[in-house]
Structure 1
């Protein structure tokens, strides 16, 4: 891994920070927005869900275009969409206008997230690929923690509109950074061969410290009937099984993840903690994610990632069973929250690392986008299911045990993947390997 490759991973981390901030921005401003327009509970719930609907749409509808137009153009377009959506949110005059702006913002964020994971994967070496993808996914926790802290200060001093204004300006600043520092994917240039592909490849090879090519490597011959195009490619004979595994694991993990991140402060407060102590546990969940994603990436550099990830999912399920029922001192509860943050965030980061491995470069962004999109559906369903179970008189402890089963199910699904460990495979069907062979 050269410095240029790690720099690309760093840019992808900055892209992921937008997702973390955008998820938190509505949660932090919910009370102020509700008071401003005198919203009912259902109206506020619609606002909270609008961004997630947009993210699902962006992952399902926009991300596949990255396999046709390129990763870089789509990221830049989605950054503009998300930034303008944030700015529009700041000047919304009605709740419906804010909801529409949140959907637009979510569309951009959904497309960004799918492409950032793919670019980080494609620029990493085979050994450090899982670490690179999980490291860039820590941008979510950084965006949620740092951006959330700034949002609290802005909310107290300048009102809720300033929070969205800050988010829009930050997104446009990242757009400028991406224009200057985000390269096109080597895999895309080799697979799709757009206009001036050789010149673009040689420019990237120079930045990687590699010799220039006199011509493009010979394309891989396709045998048999023509492949279906677009999302239908995900159900071609060789991809049907891994696609179903990716979708099921994303749905189950996002279903559990968004329950843990969204409901933990409130449920702990309902179990006897103060509101401030519940919020502290929520912050510790995000902070733990920074360490968790890095730890999983380091282990995946040595062992098959699907096996490491399955263990992390089982540990997450076990820890959830003890969170509310813990009868120890407050610091014990805080330690448990931090540990859960480590493992539950690593579960999401691990899925982001698996999806690019199981798909070829010609369908990688589509596969990643649809996996994340299906996961976002789980994220939308999760808080609704938790609310219904609370209305049905479930205790907080029963909820955590029940949602822990989602991680057990995900562990079973993930363990069915067939992914070799990095130490057992030093070659792969990606841009780096193709160039090395050439």
Structure 2
């Protein structure tokens, strides 16, 4: 149902129309400009020759101009998704290992997902007023702090539940923010390629992190050590996002 609504009502972006230059691109472009109360164009502007367009596939996003952005974006996706899936998959079991009941673990997982709903909505509201790059760094560092506080709060069940909501809010906001941030990090000519590879790296992290967590538990790591490691990994993702240099045409 939503796919149909999107195809019916959601227009293509100006960047996409200027880059793809389909037969009806000028008419659709002028329609968007009219909606934004901007003057119409008589013809499409010249398409600039971008170095990012040279070469097929992944070579487009590993040119000297984009290599730094690509590698940092991969780090951001990998760290965000790996920690998210570690927290979602392992926390209920770790709570039981720490002495709580299975019902407590399930309750915490529900609160984590509930917080996630509000985290994504809050990010969208804040992004309308503040630079997404700064929001993403703030969300990431807040998540790292909350993860560091999680295991010391085990003896206070009420605080533990509150942290579940807050971690869900911040960590889901980070994942949504990484997707949105990647869109602004690439020029339109290679945006789909850049975001697609970033998502792929994130999915790799989502597969690896639960396996690594299980292996570390088998070697004697405790829940506190795992959460501390997740804190470090997530903080590294925030630093990677901060180091990305956005194109100058993108508002900071």
TM-score, length basis structure 2: 0.87
Does the residue aligned with 1:221 lie in a helix, a strand or coil? coil
Retained in 2: the 8 A contact 1:292–1:342?
yes
> Which of 67, 74, 87 is 1:260 aligned to?
87
- Which whole-Å CA distance do the structure 1 matches of 2:45 and 2:216 have between them? 57
Spell out, residue by residue over 1:319-375, the C-alpha distance to the aligned partner (whole angstroms, 9 max, x if none): 212223314432211001111111111211221222111111111121111111111
Does residue 412 (structure 1) correspond to residue 239 (structure 2)? The answer is yes
- Which whole-Å CA distance do the structure 1 matches of 2:244 and 2:151 have between them? 33
> Which of 175, 186, 194 is 1:348 aligned to?
175
Spell out, residue by residue over 1:135-193, the C-alpha distance to the aligned partner (whole angstroms, 9 max, x if none): xxxxxxxxxxxxxxxxxxxxxxxxxxxxxxxxxxxxxx333333433333332121110
Q: Once structures 1 and 2 are overlaid, which stretch shifts more, 234-243 or 299-308?
A: 299-308
Q: Residue 182 of structure 1 aligns with which residue?
A: 10
Q: 1:292–1:240: structure 2 CA closer, same or farther, 3 Å change rule?
A: same
Retained in 1: the 8 A contact 2:52–2:190?
no
> Which of 142, 159, 164 is 1:315 aligned to?
142
Give the Å deviation of 1:303.
Answer: 4.4
Retained in 2: the 8 A contact 1:304–1:419?
no
Where does the alignment leave 5 or more consecutive residues of structure 1 unmatched? 1-172, 431-438
- Which whole-Å CA distance do the structure 2 matches of 1:196 and 1:356 have between them? 24
Map 1:54-69 to 2 at 5 A.
none
- Which whole-Å CA distance do the structure 2 matches of 1:413 and 1:225 have between them? 21
- Which whole-Å CA distance do the structure 1 matches of 2:79 and 2:94 have between them? 21
> Which of 60, 68, 76 is 1:241 aligned to?
68
Q: Residue 23 of structure 2 aligns with which residue?
A: 195
Does residue 366 (structure 1) correspond to residue 193 (structure 2)? The answer is yes
Q: Residue 387 of structure 1 aligns with which residue?
A: 214
Higher relative contact order (CA 8 A, sep 6+): 2
Does residue 324 (structure 1) correspond to residue 151 (structure 2)? The answer is yes
Retained in 2: the 8 A contact 1:287–1:338?
yes
Give the Å deviation of 1:274.
Answer: 2.1
Superposition CA RMSD, Å: 2.7
Give the Å deviation of 1:397.
Answer: 1.7
Q: Residue 184 of structure 2 aligns with which residue?
A: 357
How many residue pairs end up in the alignment? 251
Where does the alignment leave 5 or more consecutive residues of structure 2 unmatched? none
Q: 1:400–1:223: structure 2 CA closer, same or farther, 3 Å change rule?
A: closer
Spell out, residue by residue over 1:386-428, the C-alpha distance to the aligned partner (whole angstroms, 9 max, x if none): 11112112222221111111112112222212349xxxx8xx3
Give the Å deviation of 1:204.
Answer: 4.3
